[in-house]
Structure 1
Amino acid sequence: MLIAWAITYSAIVGGVKAGIERAAKIMMPILFIMVLILIGRTIFLPGALDGVNYLFQPDFSKIMDLKVWAAAYGQIFFTLSIGFAIMLAYSSYLPEKSDINNNAFMTVLINCGFSILAGIMIFAVLGFMAHEQSKELTDVVSAGVGLAFVTLPAAINELPAPYILGPLLFLSLTIAGLSSHISIIEAVTSAIIDKFKIARKKAATLVCGIGALVSLAFATNGGLLLLDLVDYFTNQIGIVLACFIEVILVVMVVKAANIRSYVNNVSDFKIGGWYDICLKFVSPAILAITLFNTLKTTVTDGYGGYAQSDLLTLAGACLLCL
């Protein structure tokens, strides 16, 4: 944990060019190569293709399940860093006449492409695990943080050469986590620098120092439960709520047509009137329905099926307010 914070602190203090950009140029290619190596090794294992087929086999009965939509929104918002100021922080560093449409398109395309590659890697491993244990894939899959810290380690132990593939997999997860960590801390640091007009090093020391102290809670015996709690209330409620409020404010104050006009003026390819419709009607409606259903389910059924779900729900609500 100390090493992760030290790397993050160094990247933030170094600034955008010397710190964050340099770290991304090193970490992202390494992560991509490691994922490709893992796919190449696991895809030919017995049962691996069954896992991959399960990943890409659609279940249209889930299309009206609002829990699926909530999870999908939380996933895409988190991986694209939408809803918690990261995009605002990094966009402020772009040149004034940047091709916004092209940048947005490439960001989404690369993000989704890499997510698919990561999914292939994980489900190939799970398919092999199910084959080795003579179980259905659904019997070995667990959702949330349990997948990374319980299911995958158990699956790795059954792989050929686990002493090589295991460290490679978790090094990949570490690099992915570090890159996200740096981007989140930069968003907070950038806001403090702009608001209070203090030096970057001082702001980074303040943010990273407080963050490091708070993160100690995740290293305790109850850290996994706390991580799952934060993940649920942040991803499926907090980010969705933030994006809903942002969409409403943008539509009412900035106006969708004004945004479309500006980005089209500085971009090579143009976006059409469908953007206005999505921003005014489609996105707010889906976000509102999804958020209402998630809140209703959380309040009525409790969180996570734990014995003390009421207490955990209250704790999650407090975290959400923070």
Structure 2
Amino acid sequence: MSTAEPTTRRRRGAFSSRKVFIFAAIGSAVGLGNIWRFPYVAYENGGGAFMIPYLVALLGAGLPFLLLDYALGHKYRGSAPLSFARLRRGAESLGWWQVGICFLIAIYYAAIIAWALRYMIFSVDEAWGAKPEEFLFETFLQAGDPGIDTTIVVGVLVPLAIVWGVVVLVMALGVEKGIGKLSLYFIPVLVVAFAALVVRALTLDGAATGLDALFTPHWAALTEPGVWGAAFGQIFFSLSIGFGVMITYASYVDEDSDMSGAGMVVGFANSGFELLAGIGVFAALGFMAQAQGMAVDEVAADGLGLAFVVFPTLISEAPAGALIGVLFFGSLVIAGLTSLVSVLEVVVSAVRDKLELGRVTAALAVSVPAAVVSLVLFSTTSGVHVLDIIDHFINQYGILLVAVVSMLVVAWSLRALPDLADHLNRTGSLKLGRTWFLLVGILVPAALTYILVDALVADIKEPYAGYPGWMLGWLGWGAAGGVIVLGVVLSRLPWRPETPLTAPYDRPDADQAVKKEEIR
């Protein structure tokens, strides 16, 4: 390890060990995407047949891109903007584009965690009564027709404020004491809690019926581009790749760590948890269908309905329903928190690197405004509509689009893949070569471009979910385009003179760099 590296680590913060990094990376990957999205995405896109595009997306796109993120962050030792700037000054805007995406994800992600926190309490006495859907939209969220309404919903405001209070504290504590400790303690708790939920669900009458519904393959679905798009979108969202999280986390890891081996652990742990989530959720749905004398497809729902309508109904009917509710919604809260801090860390790290701010100052400068925006947008009666629109467009035209652009730039404009592969191969247990170059440089960008074009055509032909055009324009297309403009503008701001635009241990004057940083 070079002499510059310890000083850089002290200034920026770092994970104390590879183990802590892996837990943090798993904490980022295992989030609402595994529990809240994956079961219904799989069910709606071919059931058992969905596992084919899902595995193709994991092995052919998710893991290769995860390793690309690791290589960028680990070699260039910076936030997403600084890592791209150290790769090539003109590529910095890609990093800020990712920062903008993370900021938007953070503000609505917190709202879902707040809903889950409140529903964990609701589970104790089944506060939703006999009509969970009416309770969710009319009583709890107080959602009206699509539009902008600034009426505050106190029942959402309070848990959302609590979530942000916890997040601000974790971010201020730093990389190791905050993010690292949170993941190190919470991920085992999450696994135990969700495993207990799955075991309980599998013992319910009708569980096998639910599993049949989930895993029975519908082969015709494989001919639909939307199914493949759902698989790639799920992988990219769930693995926390393509929008700066893993670049940032990798920059906090020792130079001698096995990053490719860590990538395999994180990738398969994430997918394993998604499969566990699917089993638990659909075993429970099978019980619910049998209890109501209905088919599984009649009780299954997508989006918010699965977590906040179907599960409350199931809790009301199942033996020891309160326990199932606390385990399920508690798992959502824990998984959501570990992912939320990782997304927000992308922004905090970028601000620290650009402005040379202290940890607490940067954490407050990012977290407090994010909390205010989140509270203003999502504690109102229009919050659920705003969330739905931003989530759709940022996933389709944010995460996937920046992934395509960054892969093409790194592979073809900068021709940096051989150097990045060499960096990971120095200490990695999995050696990267021509296959990785082919996947990252050609096949994955081509597949994602096809999916993006298909999604674009669909959204142009028919407005998403029937929302008014002005809402889609401002909150959807506006948000997706706004983060691109933000990336370009912020990349024009100069770096401070004391921020070297080369990786610390790659500088020929490493000793002098150390002395300058120590004097500061």
TM-score category of the 2 structures, normalised to the smaller one: over 0.9
Partner of 1:234: 394
Are the equivalent residues in 2 in contact too, given 1:45–1:128 (CA < 8 A)? Answer: yes
Q: Distance in 1 between matches of 2:461 and 2:177?
A: 49
- CA RMSD for the aligned pairs? 1.5
Following TM superposition, by how much is the alpha carbon of 1:15 offset from its aligned partner in structure 2, in angstroms? Answer: 1.0
TM-score, with length taken from structure 1: 0.95
**CA separation of 1:272/1:134 partners in 2, compared to 1, >3 Å: closer, same or farther?**
farther
1:246 pairs, out of 406, 425, 432, with 406
**CA separation of 1:146/1:238 partners in 2, compared to 1, >3 Å: closer, same or farther?**
farther
Following TM superposition, by how much is the alpha carbon of 1:309 offset from its aligned partner in structure 2, in angstroms? Answer: 4.2
Higher relative contact order (CA 8 A, sep 6+): 2
Following TM superposition, by how much is the alpha carbon of 1:256 offset from its aligned partner in structure 2, in angstroms? Answer: 2.6
Partner of 2:16: none
The aligned runs of 1:115-264 (5 Å cut-off) are 115-216=274-375, 217-252=377-412, 253-264=414-425
2:453 pairs, out of 269, 292, 315, with 292
Following TM superposition, by how much is the alpha carbon of 1:80 offset from its aligned partner in structure 2, in angstroms? Answer: 1.0
Are the equivalent residues in 1 in contact too, given 2:211–2:282 (CA < 8 A)? Answer: yes
Using the aligned pairs only, state the percent identity: 35
Following TM superposition, by how much is the alpha carbon of 1:150 offset from its aligned partner in structure 2, in angstroms? Answer: 2.1
Partner of 1:320: 480
User: Which runs of 5 or more residues in structure 1 are unaligned?
Assistant: none
Following TM superposition, by how much is the alpha carbon of 1:53 offset from its aligned partner in structure 2, in angstroms? Answer: 2.4
**CA separation of 1:211/1:143 partners in 2, compared to 1, >3 Å: closer, same or farther?**
same
Following TM superposition, by how much is the alpha carbon of 1:54 offset from its aligned partner in structure 2, in angstroms? Answer: 2.2
Q: What secondary structure sits across from 2:257 in the alignment?
A: coil
Partner of 1:71: 230
Q: Distance in 1 between matches of 2:385 and 2:456?
A: 20
Moved more, 94-103 or 31-40: 94-103
Following TM superposition, by how much is the alpha carbon of 1:260 offset from its aligned partner in structure 2, in angstroms? Answer: 2.3
Q: What secondary structure sits across from 2:223 in the alignment?
A: coil
Q: Distance in 1 between matches of 2:471 and 2:212?
A: 36
Following TM superposition, by how much is the alpha carbon of 1:65 offset from its aligned partner in structure 2, in angstroms? Answer: 1.6
Following TM superposition, by how much is the alpha carbon of 1:75 offset from its aligned partner in structure 2, in angstroms? Answer: 1.4
Moved more, 134-143 or 13-22: 134-143
Partner of 2:137: none
**Structure whose alpha-carbon radius of gyration is higher:** 2
The code of the aligned residue for 1:230 comes to: I
1:280 pairs, out of 441, 453, 459, with 441
**CA separation of 1:189/1:295 partners in 2, compared to 1, >3 Å: closer, same or farther?**
same
The code of the aligned residue for 1:321 comes to: G
TM-score, with length taken from structure 2: 0.60
Partner of 1:47: 206
Are the equivalent residues in 2 in contact too, given 1:185–1:208 (CA < 8 A)? Answer: yes
Q: Distance in 1 between matches of 2:238 and 2:363?
A: 23
Q: Distance in 1 between matches of 2:455 and 2:409?
A: 22
Following TM superposition, by how much is the alpha carbon of 1:41 offset from its aligned partner in structure 2, in angstroms? Answer: 0.7
Q: What secondary structure sits across from 2:243 in the alignment?
A: coil
- 1:191-246: per-residue Cα shift (whole Å, max 9, x none)? 10001111111111121111111112222222222222222112233111111111
Q: Distance in 2 between matches of 1:254 and 1:106?
A: 28
Are the equivalent residues in 2 in contact too, given 1:5–1:212 (CA < 8 A)? Answer: yes
Partner of 2:197: 38
User: Which runs of 5 or more residues in structure 2 are unaligned?
Assistant: 1-159, 483-520
Partner of 2:118: none
Moved more, 257-266 or 160-169: 257-266
Are the equivalent residues in 2 in contact too, given 1:145–1:227 (CA < 8 A)? Answer: no
Q: Distance in 1 between matches of 2:247 and 2:394?
A: 18
Are the equivalent residues in 1 in contact too, given 2:314–2:321 (CA < 8 A)? Answer: no
Q: Distance in 2 between matches of 1:237 and 1:83?
A: 12
Partner of 1:269: 430
Q: Distance in 1 between matches of 2:400 and 2:455?
A: 10
Q: Distance in 1 between matches of 2:179 and 2:478?
A: 32
2:215 pairs, out of 50, 56, 61, with 56
Following TM superposition, by how much is the alpha carbon of 1:258 offset from its aligned partner in structure 2, in angstroms? Answer: 2.8
Are the equivalent residues in 2 in contact too, given 1:77–1:239 (CA < 8 A)? Answer: yes
Q: Distance in 1 between matches of 2:469 and 2:288?
A: 35
Are the equivalent residues in 2 in contact too, given 1:130–1:136 (CA < 8 A)? Answer: yes
Following TM superposition, by how much is the alpha carbon of 1:267 offset from its aligned partner in structure 2, in angstroms? Answer: 1.0
Aligned residues: 320
